[in-house]
A and B are shown apart, each in its own frame.
Chain A
Amino acid sequence: MAATVSALALPTLSCKGPEREAFLQKHFLEMSEDDKKRVVKRLEETYRTAYGKQFDISTKGARPNTLWGYGLDLSRCIGCRRCVYACVRENNQSRHNPQVQWIRVLRLKRENLVDLDNSEHYYNPDLVPEEHFAYMPVQCQHCENPPCVKVCPVHATWKEPDGLVVVDYNWCIGCRYCMAACPYKGRVFNWAEPKIPPEELNTSVHYLGNRPRLKNVVEKCTFCVQRVRNGRYPACVEACPTGTRKFGNLLDPNSEIRYLIDHKRVFRLKEDLNTEPKFYYFFTV
């Protein structure tokens, strides 16, 4: 017993200051408001030392009567990947080694729109759209019944009251069970220390979203939690040159997302898996 206790205590004692505090901090859902303030203060200090920049770290919770939903118009997407790189910049994803991207744009033959196994995401023509092809961006689908949450052995990932599936990066142990469980390849792993050019850092961040991550943790799309909880469109919606991407509150009957679900032909990816995604693909033509 004593040996176990001392073994557990070892990393605690061997590091000091912010590192020690980070090791001892609570799970985000168990933090009091004071705990959150302390953690935010410590993180701001850490980021100031690491990047020489003042970060604005939000811990803003879900708004009442809100369930975020996303719409993507497959009739309009031209596969230009503007969304992918807007997401990378907004959400402080590692650029190289590891390269982390939360959106994967699949190219499919027009006549085989359901043949995901034979889709291609490394396509690189001079111009898009190409004849005979359709494009289907895939990212976290924010399932109402998320398999990734079920398999996490430490509850480092969970569904928020507004339907966003989020990760406490400090609680993640990097086992990657969630990546295996996700049928959409919606999650990515930081195999090395993330690398972001300091001048390209987005300093307006959320604790559960785009704050700079650690090595050996899993991350994923959060529908830009740092934006949408303040009523702002996600970065991918704003970046899309063809207006393919739509966003809104599923509980608001006047929202854009509700309009498209009510008026267009809509489907959700792999609906038969009972994951209940809140990501709606639709057609306008």
Chain B
Amino acid sequence: MRYGYNLSVGSRTLISCLLLSALFASTYAGAAGRTPHEEFPVPRPPFSKDIFPCSSCHAGLEANATRRVLKEEHTAIKLHHAESMRWCLDCHDSANRDKLRLVNGELVDFTESYLLCGQCHGNIYRDWKAGIHGKRTGYFEGGKRTYLLCVHCHDPHQPRFKPIKPEPPPYRPNDRKNAG
């Protein structure tokens, strides 16, 4: 890069102060018993209508860990995400249905599902945190911004991005429809 950096001394001091306070805050959070996570301004996950909280139905149900075809509920879910190696309760916690479960047993909210995805997709997670994978909207400075979650673009049960219809092409130079 040929462009020079031009951070003033004042802003450097400010940044170091921020870093120090962030360090202190994370140490403190760690002492409270939960692994501290970096937080991101994410919107509500794209739940199907009226499906959350999951516990409203699951509270009275006994967990059935048997791999099977779901015939009564969640019939729309077609697992196509390394399905031979995975089952519902690998990601959804069997005891607390309103949480997701990391491999280390830690429970996380649905708004932190990137922690779950990042367990396998580490390089994508790294890019997402830097804003290179995924989508950010709003203000990058001085206003509200939003980072879409992985699941806003990828259905976690079948994550491949679906083809979509393109917007119309431009008119060709001699296209009469353009004269309208």
Spell out A's residues near B (CB within 8 Å). 65, 67, 71, 73, 78-82, 84-85, 96-99, 101, 104, 121-129, 230-233, 237-238, 240-243, 246-248, 250-251, 253, 255-256, 258-261, 263-264, 284
Residues in A whose Cβ lies below 8 Å from that of B167: 80-82, 84-85
Q: Are A97 and B130 touching (Cβ within 8 A)?
A: no
- Is B139 a contact partner of A231 (Cβ separation < 8 A)? yes
The smallest C-beta distance from B125 to any residue of chain A, in angstroms, reads 13
How does the 8 Å CB contact mask read for B135-176 relative to A, with 1 for contact and 0 for none? 111111111000010000100000001011111111110000
Distance, CA A247 to CA B161, complexed state (A) = 23
Query: A82 — nearest CB in chain B belongs to which residue?
Result: B167
Q: Tell whether B46 is near chain A: CB-to-CB under 8 Å.
A: no
Tell me which of B2-10, B34-42, B88-96 binds A.
Answer: B2-10
Which residues of A are found within 8 Å of B4, using beta-carbon distances? 251
Q: Is B83 an interface residue when CB atoms closer than 8 A count as contact?
A: no
Residues of A close to B134: CB separation below 8 A: 243
A263 surroundings in chain B (CB, below 8 A): 130, 132
Provide a sorted-by-A list of 9 A–B residue pairs whose CB atoms are within 8 angstroms: A80-B164, A81-B166, A98-B178, A127-B163, A238-B138, A243-B133, A248-B140, A256-B136, A264-B132
For A242, what are the chain B residues with a Cβ–Cβ distance below 8 Å? 135, 153, 161
Q: A242 CA to B171 CA in the complex, in Å? A: 25
A128 B153 Cβ-Cβ under 8 A: no
Instruction: List, in ascending order, chain A residues with CB within 8 A of B180's CB.
Output: 96-97
Q: Number of contacts between A and B (CB, 8 Å)?
A: 118
Tell me the bound Cα distance from A127 to B166 in angstroms: 6
Check A231–B140 contact: CB distance below 8 A: yes
Tell me whether B1 is interfacial, beta carbon within 8 Å.
yes
Give the residue name and chain of the A residue nearest to B15 (CB). A254
**Contact B132 A250, beta carbon cutoff 8 Å:** no
B131 at the A interface (CB under 8 A): yes
Question: CB within 8 A of A231: which of B5, B130, B142, B170?
Answer: B142
Residue B127 is within 8 A (CB to CB) of chain A in the complex: yes
Instruction: Decide: A128 and B166 in contact? CB cutoff 8 A.
Output: yes
How many chain B residues sit at the interface, stated as a range, is 35 or more
Q: Which residues of A contact B127 (CB under 8 A)?
A: 284
B interface with A by C-beta (< 8 Å)? 1, 3-6, 127, 130-143, 148, 153, 161, 163-172, 177-180
* Contacting residues, chain B, for A97 (C-beta < 8 A): 178-180
Smallest CB separation, A109 vs chain B (Å): 17
Q: Tell whether, in the assembled complex, residue B178 and residue A241 are in contact, meaning their CB atoms are under 8 Å apart.
A: no
Residues of B within 8 A of A258 (CB): 1
Among B135, B161, B163, B169, the residue within 8 A (CB) of A123 is: B169
Please name all residues of chain A whose beta carbon is closer than 8 Å to the beta carbon of B1 when the two chains form the complex.
250, 258, 261
Check if A233 sits within 8 Å of B138, measured CB to CB.
Answer: yes
- Chain A residues in 8 Å Cβ range of B133: 243, 284
A81 and B127 alpha carbons, distance in the complex (Å): 24
Q: Provide the residues of chain A in CB contact with B165, threshold 8 Å.
A: 80, 126-128
Which chain B residues lie closer than 8 Å to A71 at the CB level? 132
Residues of B within 8 A of A121 (CB): 169-170
How far is it, in angstroms, between the C-alpha of A122 and the C-alpha of B175 when the chains are bound?
12
Q: Is the CB of A124 within 8 A of B178?
A: no
Contact indicator B131/A259 (Cβ below 8 Å): yes
In the complex, what residues of B have CB within 8 A of residue A127's CB?
163-166
A233 touches B169 (CB 8 A): no
Task: Contacts A123-B166, A231-B141, A243-B135 known; list 16 others, CB within 8 Å.
Answer: A65-B6, A71-B132, A81-B167, A82-B167, A84-B167, A97-B178, A97-B179, A124-B166, A128-B166, A230-B142, A230-B143, A233-B136, A247-B140, A248-B140, A251-B3, A260-B132
Q: Do A128 and B163 touch (CB < 8 A)? A: yes
Partner of A99, one of B5, B140, B163, B171: B171
B148–chain A nearest beta-carbon distance, Å: 7
Question: Can you list the 5 inter-chain pairs with the closest CB atoms, starting with the nearest?
Answer: A231-B141, A243-B135, A81-B167, A127-B163, A256-B131
Given the complex of chains A and B, what is the CA–CA distance between A122 and B168 in angstroms? 9
Q: Quick check: A253 and B168 within 8 Å, CB to CB?
A: no
